[in-house]
A and B are shown apart, each in its own frame.
Chain A
Amino acid sequence: MFDVSSVTALWWAVIISGLYHGINPGMGWPLAVSAALMARKHSALPKAIAMLGVGHFLAMLGILLPFSMMVFLIEKEVELRVIAGTLVTCMGIYLLINRRHPKILSRIHPARLALWSFLAAMAHGAGLMLVPIYLELCQFEGGQGSVMAEGHTAAQALMDSSVYTAFLVAAVHTGAMTLAGTLLAVAIYLWLGLKFISRTWFNLDIVWAISLIVVGAFGIFSAIGGAHVLR
């Protein structure tokens, strides 16, 4: 019944969410096109993409790391996953109701791309979208850990493993996001031309909010269902 929760499927979810964030203009690929055109230098494009990636990576870590601490501190793992799932769902519902754009983003200097990317990801709950997937992954890693060791060392191993997983999830996700953004930015910059900036720009606001709700619901559902199966 829960075969989607296999480790492979979860990693695919991390990658697909990365591609999804990458194609969303709200996560910054048009900035890479504009950076290269403004600077009249091809090299400005990869540089901008890299800065956007750094910001996005940090935003993912900023959300995932606190949860990795909680995986370690809170023994009630099912409850944590239910709370996390609820939080993500609530963010989705909030974004669905409040469709105003975060004004803070327009106060950032156009050259500070990493900061912009960090705040854009934060404001849109991009990191939260990964939390249920991440916690599900930790459950697999943690499950193995507890079999292998006991006591203090087990706790240490569990934490190391959850922090490591957080970094890995953030890196894989950001890698996929960067790949998708680069493909779009390069295609428009080199071949398609600026007309496609507006043509490829779809309003993902509602889809994005619904994605958060779906991922959150998945988190809650699999936490409760998974616990049931374990018992």
Chain B
Amino acid sequence: MNAKLRPDPTFYASAKIAMNAPVENFAFTAMLSPDGSQSDGIAVVDLRTDSDTFGEIVHTVMTPNKGDEFHHFGWNACSSSLSPLTGHAFLERRYLVVPGIRSSRIYIFDVKEPLKAKIHKTIEPEELFEKTGYSRPHTIHCGPEGIYVSTLGGGGQDGTDGPPGIFIMDCESFEIIGRYEMDRGKQDKHYDFWWNLPQDYMVSSEWGLPPQFENGVVPEDLLSNKYGHSIHFWDLRARKNVHTMDFGENYQMALEIRPAHDPTKTYGFCGVVVDTTNLQGAIFTWWRDDDGNWQSKKVITIDPRPEDPENLPELLKGFSAVPPLVTDIDLSLDDKYLYVACWGLGEMHQYDVTDPLNPRLNGKVELGGIAKGTKHPNGKPCVFGPQMVEISRDGKRVYWTNSLYSTWDDQFYPDEEGGQMVMARVGDDGSFSLDKDFYIDFPKGLRAHQIRLEGGDCSTDSFCYPSV
């Protein structure tokens, strides 16, 4: 039993309280072996500023298997446990739920003592297939009834037997309970999801089906607009898709969903990897209007950079340009800054989204990039481009890593190998620049993906009370 007498001190009633809470002491970063020759694992990074090992990997937990391909992961419990409705306030934020998107195996890591983190439980793929008919588990959020996990594949060998969806896990025993959906409507692909718990809605997004990503991006599918380009709005507790919003088929790969953290707000953002008509990256703002209807508007476009085909990977030679490739976005807890990873260009953009319909580019950091390879201020190289981004609760530190997905890394950056984690600092005036001294080079043969911060971060916790 994980029951405590008092709520976990890392559960915060509102985003504002979380911002003023003590800062993070550790980061947990997913490491993956791109060719499956080594085991994947979690790196524990020391972020205690007074520590001799600040900014170093101080512990690693590797799995006993190979070929899992770690990608996204999340907590067993977050601030949503303070929901007045569900009364799960006495859980502990202690376990990381880490799925392998290639193997469909799910690991539960016990990180109560970060320096002694260990694997607590392993759920074999067969159990997932049998209980849900889904495969390739991905995004984790803790919510009503337990832990919600999105999947990228349905049943069968190639994951195309039936649509992918979300399943629910018990937040204490980690037993897989079953499918979430009661009426999925038009939803037939999946990627990310998030919600507004008090307002009782969920938003989900689409990447593509497993044959469209597992062996690399399929150029014919991309150019014929066959990747996902819709997001879905759900009645969360009725488990019903109430509206499917199609951005337009040229907006290929609508990935990350970032709702405003303050639950009184009824808007959020979604990043689109590439507009196939002009190679732009795009951010859409979605919101519910006064009549209760869901709306959306393209609020940010990022232009491609012209480039000599000679310098470009095979995939891009025909375009003579580097597409921005917006692969991840993250919103600070005060709903003020949206960070947009342009993995192709090699840039991390910082937008002021105080007015969500009129974002303003406030800052930019260049690092890596196709046919560019901007070096870190410390003079060392960073492979690929800025990718998985995570913001500290107080909004003053922005961390990121650089791998997108093993086979895609190899297509867009065929000559590069490795993995780095870096940090940028955000000043009180909003200034945004890389910290020269924070640079983590991952062990040889491993790449780095999602980062989770001890005690919660800007893409895990769901708050049930307004920021007043």
B-binding residues in A (CB < 8 A): 25-26, 28, 30-31, 33-34, 37-38, 40, 99-101, 103, 105-111, 116, 120, 194-195, 197-198, 201-203, 205
Tell me the minimal C-beta distance from A129 to chain B in angstroms.
17
Contacts of B115 in A (CB 8 A): none
Q: Which of A103, A197, A205 neighbours the largest number of chain B CB atoms within 10 Å of its CB? A: A197
**Chain A, Cβ-Cβ closest to B11:** A198
Q: Which of B140-189 contact A (CB under 8 A)?
A: 144-146, 172
Q: Which of B48-81 contact A (CB under 8 A)?
A: none
Q: List 24 A-B contacts (CB under 8 A).
A: A25-B89, A33-B84, A37-B465, A38-B198, A40-B466, A99-B1, A103-B145, A103-B146, A106-B237, A107-B145, A107-B237, A108-B85, A109-B237, A110-B200, A116-B85, A120-B87, A197-B82, A198-B6, A198-B12, A198-B89, A201-B82, A203-B3, A203-B89, A205-B3
User: Top 10 nearest A-B pairs by Cβ distance?
Assistant: A30-B84, A106-B144, A194-B13, A31-B84, A197-B13, A198-B7, A106-B86, A106-B145, A37-B466, A203-B90
Tell me the complex Cα distance, A195–B468, Å: 11
Tell me the minimal C-beta distance from B426 to chain A in angstroms.
25
A-binding residues in B (CB < 8 A): 1, 3-7, 9, 11-14, 17, 82, 84-90, 144-146, 172, 197-200, 237-238, 263-264, 464-466, 468
Tell me the complex Cα distance, A28–B198, Å: 14
**Chain A, Cβ-Cβ closest to B84:** A30
**Chain A, Cβ-Cβ closest to B177:** A103
Contacts of A203 in B (CB 8 A): 3-6, 89-90
Contacts of B238 in A (CB 8 A): 109
- Which of B82, B84, B88, B144 contacts A107 (CB under 8 A)? B144
**Chain A, Cβ-Cβ closest to B91:** A101
Contacts of B146 in A (CB 8 A): 103
Instruction: Say yes or no: A201 contacts B263, CB within 8 Å.
Output: no
Q: Tell me the number of A-to-B contacts counted with CB atoms below 8 Å.
A: 90
Tell me the minimal C-beta distance from A206 to chain B in angstroms.
8
- Which of A40, A99, A101, A110 contacts B198 (CB under 8 A)? A110
**Chain A, Cβ-Cβ closest to B168:** A103
- Which of A101, A108, A109, A198 contacts B87 (CB under 8 A)? A101
Instruction: Say yes or no: A194 contacts B14, CB within 8 Å.
Output: yes
- Which of B7, B14, B200, B263 contacts A109 (CB under 8 A)? B200
Instruction: Say yes or no: A194 contacts B17, CB within 8 Å.
Output: yes
**Chain A, Cβ-Cβ closest to B89:** A201
Contacts of B237 in A (CB 8 A): 106-109
Contacts of A100 in B (CB 8 A): 172
Contacts of A108 in B (CB 8 A): 85, 237
Contacts of B1 in A (CB 8 A): 99
- Which of B7, B82, B85, B172 contacts A110 (CB under 8 A)? B85
Contacts of A30 in B (CB 8 A): 82, 84
Given contacts A110-B197, A110-B200, A194-B14, 20 further A-B contacts (CB under 8 A): A25-B89, A30-B84, A34-B84, A34-B198, A34-B464, A37-B465, A37-B468, A38-B198, A101-B87, A103-B145, A106-B86, A108-B237, A194-B13, A194-B468, A198-B6, A198-B9, A198-B13, A201-B89, A203-B4, A203-B6
Contacts of B172 in A (CB 8 A): 100
Contacts of A202 in B (CB 8 A): 5-6
Instruction: Say yes or no: B6 contacts A101, CB within 8 Å.
Output: no
Contacts of A37 in B (CB 8 A): 264, 465-466, 468
Tell me the complex Cα distance, A28–B86, Å: 10
Contacts of B7 in A (CB 8 A): 198, 201
**Chain B, Cβ-Cβ closest to A196:** B13
Provided the pairs A33-B465, A38-B466, A203-B4 are in contact, do residues A105 and B11 lie with their beta carbons within 8 angstroms?
A: no
- Which of A28, A38, A101, A116 contacts B88 (CB under 8 A)? A101
Contacts of B12 in A (CB 8 A): 198
Instruction: Say yes or no: A198 contacts B82, CB within 8 Å.
Output: yes
**Chain B, Cβ-Cβ closest to A206:** B3
Tell me the minimal C-beta distance from A122 to chain B in angstroms.
14
**Chain A, Cβ-Cβ closest to B466:** A37
**Chain A, Cβ-Cβ closest to B464:** A34
**Chain B, Cβ-Cβ closest to A31:** B84
Tell me the complex Cα distance, A204–B237, Å: 27
Contacts of B144 in A (CB 8 A): 106-107
**Chain B, Cβ-Cβ closest to A32:** B84
Tell me the minimal C-beta distance from A108 to chain B in angstroms.
7
Tell me the minimal C-beta distance from A210 to chain B in angstroms.
14
Provided the pairs A103-B145, A110-B198, A203-B4 are in contact, do residues A38 and B85 lie with their beta carbons within 8 angstroms?
A: no
**Chain A, Cβ-Cβ closest to B4:** A203
Contacts of B87 in A (CB 8 A): 25-26, 101, 105, 120
Contacts of A99 in B (CB 8 A): 1, 3
Instruction: Say yes or no: B264 contacts A194, CB within 8 Å.
Output: no
Tell me the minimal C-beta distance from B113 to chain A in angstroms.
23
Contacts of B17 in A (CB 8 A): 194-195
Tell me the complex Cα distance, A198–B13, Å: 7
Instruction: Say yes or no: B465 contacts A31, CB within 8 Å.
Output: no
